[in-house]
A and B are shown apart, each in its own frame.
Chain A
Amino acid sequence: MYKIAAVGDKDSIYGFASLGITIFPVDDSAEAAKLIRKLAESEYGVIYITEQLASRISAETERYASMPLPAIIPVPGVRGNTGIGLENVSKFVEKAVGSDIIS
Chain B
Amino acid sequence: MAVMNVNPTRMELTNLKRKLVTARRGHKLLKDKRDELMRRFLDMVRENKALRKEVEEGVKKANVAMSVARCVMSDKALDVALMLPTQEMHLDVTEKNVMSVMIPEFDVKFRTANEHDIYSYGFANTSGDLDTAVKALSDIMPKMIRLAEIEKSCRLMADEIEKTRRRVNALEHVMIPQYEETIKYITMKLDENERSTTTRLMKVKDMMLAKAHNY
Asked if A and B bind, the verdict is yes
> Which positions 115-152 of chain B face chain A at CB distance < 8 Å?
118-120, 133-134, 137-138, 141, 144-145, 147-149, 151-152
List the A residue with the shortest CB-CB distance to B64: A78
Instruction: Choose among B56, B59, B60, B137 the residue that contacts A19 (Cβ–Cβ < 8 A).
Output: B137
Judged by DSSP, the binding face of A is mixed
Instruction: Choose among B59, B60, B89, B144 the residue that contacts A20 (Cβ–Cβ < 8 A).
Output: B89
B residues contacting A by CB (< 8 A) are: 38, 41-42, 45-46, 48-49, 52-53, 55-56, 59-60, 62-63, 66-67, 70, 78, 82-83, 85-93, 95, 102-104, 106, 110-112, 118-120, 133-134, 137-138, 141, 144-145, 147-149, 151-152, 154-159, 161-162
Known A-B contacts A3-B89, A89-B48, A96-B162; the reply to A75 vs B102 at CB < 8 A is: no
Is A73 an interface residue when CB atoms closer than 8 A count as contact?
A: yes
List the A residue with the shortest CB-CB distance to B149: A71
Of residues A3, A16, A18, A75, which shows the largest number of chain B Cβ atoms within 10 Å of its Cβ? A18
A residues contacting B by CB (< 8 A) are: 1-4, 11-12, 14-21, 45-46, 48, 65-66, 68-69, 71, 73, 75-78, 81, 85-86, 88-89, 92-93, 95-97, 102
Q: How far is the CB of A73 from chain B (nearest CB, A)?
A: 5
List the B residue with the shortest CB-CB distance to A95: B158
Judged by DSSP, the binding face of B is helix
Residue contact B67 to A11, C-beta cutoff 8 Å: yes
Residue contact B41 to A96, C-beta cutoff 8 Å: yes
Q: How far is the CB of B63 from chain A (nearest CB, A)?
A: 5
CA distance in complex: A71, B90 (Å): 15
Known A-B contacts A46-B106, A68-B103, A68-B104; the reply to A92 vs B158 at CB < 8 A is: yes
Instruction: Choose among B38, B112, B134, B145 the residue that contacts A46 (Cβ–Cβ < 8 A).
Output: B145
Q: How far is the CB of B205 from chain A (nearest CB, A)?
A: 64
Known A-B contacts A71-B148, A81-B56; the reply to A2 vs B93 at CB < 8 A is: yes
